[in-house]
Structure 1
Amino acid sequence: MTSDPRLRVPLVVLTVLILDLSLFTRVRVAGVMPDLMLLLAIAAGITGGQVRGAVVGFGSGMVVDLFLQTPLGLSALVFSVVGYTVGTAQTGILRASWWIPVVTAFVASAAGVLFFALAATVVGDTSLVTARLGLVMALVGVMNALLAPLAVRMMAWALDCTPARGGYVV
């Protein structure tokens, strides 16, 4: 396999998209499924920093927008902001510890779901801001947090980042 991240990142994004649209549509807790494409943006921010988090977030968001009934670019906007924010936190405070990517994925996923619902409301789709929004935020956060170690390793490989002590990237 090539060592060029320009080829590996799209490979990971497309693989996760296929898994998201096929296998993970059946993995639901209280009607909520994990948001794997958002998790990719978070993992890119953790492993690669601000710019890579934003770029992977934008790319994965645009790809997933092709399959959603929301305005084109909404996921791209949200995922790139979340990826950039996680990358900013990573460069400032995050260190190599097994639990930090898990907690980061939980918080960033919940925030991403909230930001997506609010951004959708701004563009006229009020169906996402409901009484269930808090439950959806919590469940997506928990499911993405459980998948975070795998996503971080995949993005570290795709972005050609060197894993630090404990297997996570600093």
Structure 2
Amino acid sequence: MRLNRILLSSALVLVALVIQVSVLSRLHLPGAVPDLLLLTVLGLAMVYGHVGGALVGFGAGLLADLAPPADHAAGRYALVLCVVGYLAGLIKPENGQVRSASGPMATVVGAAIGSTLLYAGVGALVGDTAARHVGLGGLLFTAVLYDLLLAPFVVPAIMALARRAEHDPLSETSAAKKGTDISAGWLSSGTGLRIGGQRNGLRVKAARARTARAGRIKGVRRL
């Protein structure tokens, strides 16, 4: 991943994690907790593709596994978000631009259901039976409901920020497409001409000064 992707993804994931842990998880809503981290991974994956989505999902899930108050084995949610990010990146729209809201909303529904089932399945493998006591049906319904309510406000904003970072004129790809180095072009088109002009002006002034001195000396000798 390029540097601008890493910086933007890290900032968005940290903000989403802080909001989810400090605000959303303390609302004590019935059923599941609104998964802002999942929506952030989906938005980035639908711009960066399956490889970038998998990397962002793994990093975001690992942070969620280690962030307090974590009550599950480390790496569990990292696996879930890694798979979700990879699958969401496979349906990446062309140029990261979405023509209708039906595709992303369907992706949110599938991701909410898939992440809940995968999280519960991995928990069953390691002996965590909390999903059975809460009720898997209620978790699925509330997870889809909460994520759908948040998605129109989160996913388009995340995708817009990611697209803007991808088309940053200072990035390496934009410079490669233009075929010239931006800094070199700026120097040659701006300061280079000014420095050349200043040098030519100094040369003309020096020549005029030498001519004036020669005329004065000649005038003194004639006298």
Q: What TM-score comes out, normalization by structure 2 length? A: 0.64
> In the alignment, is residue 118 of structure 1 matched against residue 121 of structure 2?
yes
**Structure 1 pair 21–131 and aligned structure 2 pair: CA distance change class (3 A):** closer
Residue of structure 2 in register with 1:166 after alignment:
none
Is the Cα–Cα contact under 8 Å of residues 74 and 119 in structure 1 kept in the other structure? yes
CA displacement at 1:129 relative to structure 2: 3.4
Structure 2 Cα separation of the partners of residues 6 and 98 of structure 1: 26
Residue of structure 1 in register with 2:138 after alignment:
135
**Structure 1 pair 104–56 and aligned structure 2 pair: CA distance change class (3 A):** same
SS of alignment partner, residue 26 of structure 2: coil
Unaligned runs of 5+ in 1: 163-170
Q: What TM-score comes out, normalization by structure 1 length? A: 0.81
Q: Which protein has greater RCO, CA pairs closer than 8 Å, 6+ apart?
A: 1
CA displacement at 1:88 relative to structure 2: 1.4
Identity percentage of aligned residues:
33
Structure 1 Cα separation of the partners of residues 25 and 121 of structure 2: 23
Is the Cα–Cα contact under 8 Å of residues 105 and 144 in structure 1 kept in the other structure? yes
Structure 1 Cα separation of the partners of residues 92 and 133 of structure 2: 32
Question: How well do the aligned residues superpose, as a CA RMSD in angstroms?
Answer: 2.4
Structure 1 Cα separation of the partners of residues 24 and 134 of structure 2: 24
Structure 1 Cα separation of the partners of residues 103 and 27 of structure 2: 25
SS of alignment partner, residue 90 of structure 1: coil
Residue of structure 2 in register with 1:13 after alignment:
13
Residue of structure 2 in register with 1:82 after alignment:
84
SS of alignment partner, residue 83 of structure 2: helix
Opposite residue 6 of structure 2, the aligned amino acid is R
Is the Cα–Cα contact under 8 Å of residues 61 and 73 in structure 1 kept in the other structure? yes
SS of alignment partner, residue 49 of structure 1: helix
- The structure in which a higher percent of residues are helix is 2
**Structure 1 pair 50–21 and aligned structure 2 pair: CA distance change class (3 A):** same
Is the Cα–Cα contact under 8 Å of residues 13 and 40 in structure 2 kept in the other structure? yes
Unaligned runs of 5+ in 2: 168-223
CA displacement at 1:137 relative to structure 2: 1.3
Opposite residue 117 of structure 1, the aligned amino acid is A
Number of residue pairs matched by the alignment: 159
- Determine which structure has more spread, i.e. the larger CA radius of gyration: 2
CA displacement at 1:110 relative to structure 2: 1.4
**Structure 1 pair 147–140 and aligned structure 2 pair: CA distance change class (3 A):** same
Structure 1 Cα separation of the partners of residues 109 and 8 of structure 2: 25
CA displacement at 1:50 relative to structure 2: 0.6
**Structure 1 pair 26–131 and aligned structure 2 pair: CA distance change class (3 A):** closer
> In the alignment, is residue 98 of structure 1 matched against residue 101 of structure 2?
yes
Q: 1:3-29 CA distances to partner (integer Å, 9 max, x unpaired)?
A: 922211111111111100111123343
Structure 2 Cα separation of the partners of residues 135 and 47 of structure 1: 31
Q: 1:60-89 CA distances to partner (integer Å, 9 max, x unpaired)?
A: 100000132111000000110011111113
> In the alignment, is residue 157 of structure 1 matched against residue 161 of structure 2?
yes
